[in-house]
Amino acid sequence: MEYIEFKNINKTFFKATPREFKALENINFTISKGDFVTIVGSNGAGKSTLLNLIQGLIAKDSGNIYINGKDILQISQIERAKFISCVFQNPLDGTAPRMTILENLSLAYRRGNRRTLRESTKKQEIEIFVKELKKLNLGLEDKLNTPIGFLSGGQRQCISLIMASLNNPKLILLDEHTSALDPKMQNVLMEITDEKIKEKNLTAFMVTHRLTDALKYGNRLLVMHRGKIVFDFKDEEKKKLNVKDLYEIILKLDCENN
Ligand SMILES: Nc1ncnc2c1ncn2[C@@H]1O[C@H](COP(=O)(O)OP(=O)(O)OP(=O)(O)O)[C@@H](O)[C@H]1O
Ligand SMILES: [Mg+2]
């Protein structure tokens, strides 16, 4: 059986008004455990709407999303947060600025678990966090007691990524999570993202406008356009694509409808 199944997902905004707008139309696809799916498409294609719907930030009109056979659209957003995690575009979104690195990581680590705050537990947690932070190579393991608000956007996004992957989520959602960073930091964060996904064998969706990243990372590539998945490149097909091909595909889609 497939790990995640999307069945006939539809979402219309401003229903029954003159502004009625189909943001997602008959979305059907399945993915296997460990798939790293990159998603591209023009502004307004429906990429974030799809991720927001998975997360429970917006409600579907119709359809189902099954993870291991269980329809996750039937359970509350809070329940979903136990096994779906996300890193979004704005570095200010994922972390609590006044809380320290340690406090932010602890919160993420305990999410969905009833862990006690005994000293021994705390010590074990700190060891885990330091190990994760060291892998970033940004010296953040020496700043455990620094409030997150003092860190750069890039540093914050790296910590958000650790937070999102700490509890081995069933699915991790990345919506343009590198886009607010400088070009070098974008590359650093992408490498860290890829390592983390491989190390933990996570199943991931990553929306990006950086076509090089969409091609370089992951084993599957979806192209979205006007609420639909219009191309679905898997493994070998994806490897054969280059940036120019992909750019032309997206450009052609935009021209066809204008
Ligand atoms: N909460 C909402 N209420 C009304 N319309 C919305 C809402 N969220 C998204 N839309 C509309 O749905 C369409 C798809 O938006 P979405 O944010 O999913 O696009 P996107 O593919 O993520 O684009 P971008 O690359 O610009 O982030 C847009 O026309 C947008 O205006
Ligand atoms: Mg978006």
Q: Which atom of ligand 1 is nearest to the CA of 51?
A: 18
Q: 0.85 exceeded by the pTM?
A: yes
Residue 27 vs residues 206, 207, 230, 242: alpha-carbon distances, Å: 17, 16, 10, 26
CA of 46 to the centre of ligand 2 (A): 7
* CB of 48 closer than 6 angstroms to any ligand 1 atom: yes
CA of 46 to the centre of ligand 1 (A): 6
Q: What is the pLDDT of residue 119?
A: 65
Q: What is the pLDDT of residue 93?
A: 86
CA of 256 to the centre of ligand 1 (A): 20
Q: How confident is the model at residue 131 (pLDDT cuts 50, 70, 90)?
A: very high
Q: Which atom of ligand 1 is nearest to the CA of 47?
A: 21
CA angle 166, 167, 168 (to 5 degrees): 95
CA of 131 to the centre of ligand 1 (A): 38
Q: Which residues surround ligand 2, an ion (CB under 5 A)?
A: 48
SS3 187: helix
Q: Which atom of ligand 1 is nearest to the CA of 227?
A: 14
Mean pLDDT of the chain: 93
* CB of 27 closer than 6 angstroms to any ligand 1 atom: no
The pLDDT tens digits of the residues spanning 8-44 come to: 999 999 999 999 999 999 999 999 999 999 999 999 9
* CB of 41 closer than 6 angstroms to any ligand 1 atom: yes
Q: Which atom of ligand 1 is nearest to the CA of 209?
A: 25
Residue matched to tokens 């990581």: 105
Q: How confident is the model at residue 114 (pLDDT cuts 50, 70, 90)?
A: low
Instruction: Answer for the pair 162, 130: CB distance below 8 angstroms, yes or no.
Output: no
The pLDDT tens digits of the residues spanning 52-98 come to: 999 999 999 999 999 999 999 999 988 898 899 999 998 888 889 99
Residue 237 has pLDDT above 90, yes or no: yes
Q: Whose CA is nearest to atom 6 of ligand 1?
A: 13
* CB of 23 closer than 6 angstroms to any ligand 1 atom: yes
CA of 47 to the centre of ligand 2 (A): 6
Give 114-151 as a DSSP string.
Answer: -----HHHHHHHHHHHHHHHHHHTSSGGG-TTSBGGGS
Q: Which atom of ligand 1 is nearest to the CA of 14?
A: 4
Q: What is the pLDDT of residue 227?
A: 97
The pLDDT tens digits of the residues spanning 192-209 come to: 999 999 999 999 999 999
Residue 1 has pLDDT above 60, yes or no: no
> Which class for 246: exposed (0-12), middle (13-18), buried (19 or more C-beta within 10 A)?
buried
The Cβ of residue 124 has, within 10 Å, a number of other Cβ atoms equal to: 12
